[in-house]
């Protein structure tokens, strides 16, 4: 079954490259300018760009930033969903599909510094399912942007709800935030944990426990 892009596009215009007029375009000319800005900033901060090790650093830095934010480019491979095969089976109704740990890296939109960690995504299907690898793509499409951790979880849940109309969605993320850790004085590096519960998960505590147990996150 083809996911109805136009319906969903009303809510999240920049999700998919396919048919997305706002898909980002970075020209060679812009990249050249960005490298100039990066050179100016890095030099101003104290880096000597006139060494064999650093002369290419502005170029590498801009390239790394472009790659770290390629979630803005969308991912047309997300579009396909499938009908469940156990539509009428009562056992299927509350069976969870859980994927994780999904490694992710993101840039916090407050400091443009990395935060990174693990995501676990679960859902309880109704009529449609999605390939399990797509859950990884889904996390990364939202993580590889300038983001806040809570919003990544909400966006993953929103998208799964819009694509699959599932009976429930669970998203758990835990991450290290370099903007906190680099500037902090604490000896232990804290992890930030966020959860999103939708549908049956919001209503049923035992499903949340099962999600944590099945994910190896029991707490
Ligand atoms: Zn930050």
Query: 3-state DSSP call for residue 69?
Result: coil
DSSP string, 115-128: EEEEEEEEEE-SSE
Is the pLDDT higher at 189 or at 171?
Answer: 171
- 55 as an active site residue: the answer is no
Catalytic pick among 109, 150, 165, 205: 109
Q: Which of 77, 161, 85, 79 is nearest to 124 (CA)?
A: 161
Q: What is the pLDDT of residues 199-218, one digit of tens each?
A: 999 999 999 999 999 998 87
- Give me the helix-helix angle, 149-164 and 132-143, nearest 10°: 140
- 67 as an active site residue: the answer is no
Q: How far does residue 108's CA lie from ligand 1's centre (Å)?
A: 5
Greatest mean pLDDT among 11-25, 60-74, 101-115, 157-171: 101-115
Q: Which token pair is 201?
A: 């998960």
Q: How far does residue 31's CA lie from ligand 1's centre (Å)?
A: 25
- 8 Å CB contact between 69 and 107: yes
Name the pTM for this structure.
0.84
DSSP annotation of 80 reads B
Confidence at residue 13, expressed as pLDDT on a 0 to 100 scale: 40
Catalytic pick among 96, 149, 155, 167: 149
């Amino acid at each position: 079954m083809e996911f109805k892009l136009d319906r969903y596009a009303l809510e999240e215009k920049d999700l998919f490259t396919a048919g997305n007029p706002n898909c980002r375009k970075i020209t060679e000319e812009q990249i050249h300018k960005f490298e100039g800005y990066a050179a100016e900033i890095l030099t101003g901060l104290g880096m000597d760009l006139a060494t064999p090790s650093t002369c290419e650093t502005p170029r590498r830095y801009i390239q790394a930033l472009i790659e770290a934010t390629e979630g803005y480019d969308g991912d047309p491979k997300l579009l396909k969903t499938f009908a469940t095969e156990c539509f009428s089976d009562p056992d299927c109704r509350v069976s969870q599909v859980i994927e994780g740990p999904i490694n992710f890296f993101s840039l916090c939109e407050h400091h443009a510094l990395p935060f990174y960690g693990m995501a676990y995504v679960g859902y309880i299907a109704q009529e449609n399912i999605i390939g399990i690898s797509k859950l990884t793509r889904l996390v990364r499409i939202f993580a590889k942007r300038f983001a806040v951790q809570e919003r990544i979880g909400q966006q993953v849940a929103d998208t799964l709800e819009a694509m699959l109309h599932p009976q429930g969605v669970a998203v758990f993320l835990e991450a290290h935030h370099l903007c906190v850790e680099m500037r902090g004085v604490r000896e232990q590096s804290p992890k930030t944990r966020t959860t999103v519960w939708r549908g049956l998960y919001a209503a049923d505590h035992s499903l949340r426990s099962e999600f944590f147990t099945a994910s190896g996150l029991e707490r």
